[in-house]
Structure 1
């Protein structure tokens, strides 16, 4: 019997489990598209769940019967770098799927929840800083690439990504 999957808002108690999910996901799924040195330098920062996201009410986790996160992601009105939001616009934040469940529709179901939440809040434009790996996933969800960017993780650590937008 297939496990029951529940998509719910993240809570502060999810912080460590989401960090574990991010580490599993990014280490496995990003490796084909990024140089080992880029991942070595960036992953220690990218795989730490943001405590603010666990409290915002618009970041979600898809959990199995045991409460284990199989996917996570959400949106905020503020940008990932903390810039103030604009009315009607939001930013997709820290999306990941467990590598054992990648390609099984879990990420799409999670993003449907994200879209519904954003729409209910009056957001009709979503921006996304996609990994190189996830660009096809986001394109399939209606995002259009705006161009390649390099995200400064910390001084001296840059991470290649694709700026995307969905209207």
Structure 2
């Protein structure tokens, strides 16, 4: 579980991940604009206890991510758009899978899949049976392999007058319900 003591390390991990792993999908200006707004820490996830960190043996942060029982689909404390902090209803709403990032040194080793699985299992234990996310273009392939389907694409404003495309995806939980 992430704590406020992890914030600096999470921020550095997100910056490294976005700058290196998302270069094929977003321009440098888009990535930097997103790092100033959308790809920032959502402190509400940490306070809610729904954000995880993965470390390696030497203590370095290798990945992070989680889920939320709140309406906000994506973004962080500094996003341009309105944040929807209202709680979801587990009987009708989908849990939000949020902010999964892997450090480039640990990419393509299954860590993103493990974080996704941990987030889904925690959301199911809370009572959710469906999930949705706002995926980066870079994450669509992985999430499609994990059973998510694309719903639509959203142009999200970021700093510097830029925008990025985010893909809304959804998945059914237990027993495909």
Say if 2:36 and 2:159, in contact at 8 Å, map to a contact too: no
Match of 1:62 in 2: 54
Question: Tell me, what secondary structure is at the counterpart of 2:26?
Answer: coil
| In structure 1, C-alpha distance between the alignment counterparts of 2:152 and 2:39, rounded to whole Å | 24
Q: Paired residues, what number? A: 159
Please tell me the root mean square deviation across aligned C-alpha atoms, in Å: 1.8
Greater shift in the superposed pair: 32-41 or 11-20: 32-41
Give the TM-score normalised by the residue count of structure 2: 0.82
Match of 2:103 in 1: 98
CA drift of 1:85 comes to 3.6
Which has the larger share of helix? 2
Match of 1:126 in 2: 131
Match of 1:18 in 2: 10
1:154–1:27: structure 2 CA closer, same or farther, 3 Å change rule?
closer
Say if 1:15 and 1:49, in contact at 8 Å, map to a contact too: yes
Question: Tell me, what secondary structure is at the counterpart of 1:133?
Answer: helix
CA drift of 1:40 comes to 2.9
| In structure 1, C-alpha distance between the alignment counterparts of 2:38 and 2:8, rounded to whole Å | 14
Match of 1:5 in 2: none
Match of 1:3 in 2: none
CA shift digits 1:95-121 (9 cap, x unpaired): 100111111011111111111100000
| In structure 2, C-alpha distance between the alignment counterparts of 1:104 and 1:115, rounded to whole Å | 19
| In structure 1, C-alpha distance between the alignment counterparts of 2:45 and 2:55, rounded to whole Å | 17
| In structure 1, C-alpha distance between the alignment counterparts of 2:10 and 2:130, rounded to whole Å | 26
Say if 1:14 and 1:54, in contact at 8 Å, map to a contact too: no
Which has the larger share of strand? 1
Question: Tell me, what secondary structure is at the counterpart of 2:114?
Answer: helix
| In structure 1, C-alpha distance between the alignment counterparts of 2:88 and 2:46, rounded to whole Å | 22
| In structure 1, C-alpha distance between the alignment counterparts of 2:52 and 2:109, rounded to whole Å | 18
Which of 123, 140, 145 is the matching residue for 1:140? 145
Match of 2:25 in 1: 33
**Where does structure 1 lack aligned partners over 5 or more consecutive residues?**
1-8
Greater shift in the superposed pair: 118-127 or 81-90: 81-90
1:41–1:154: structure 2 CA closer, same or farther, 3 Å change rule?
closer
Say if 1:16 and 1:49, in contact at 8 Å, map to a contact too: no
Match of 2:84 in 1: 82
Match of 2:76 in 1: none
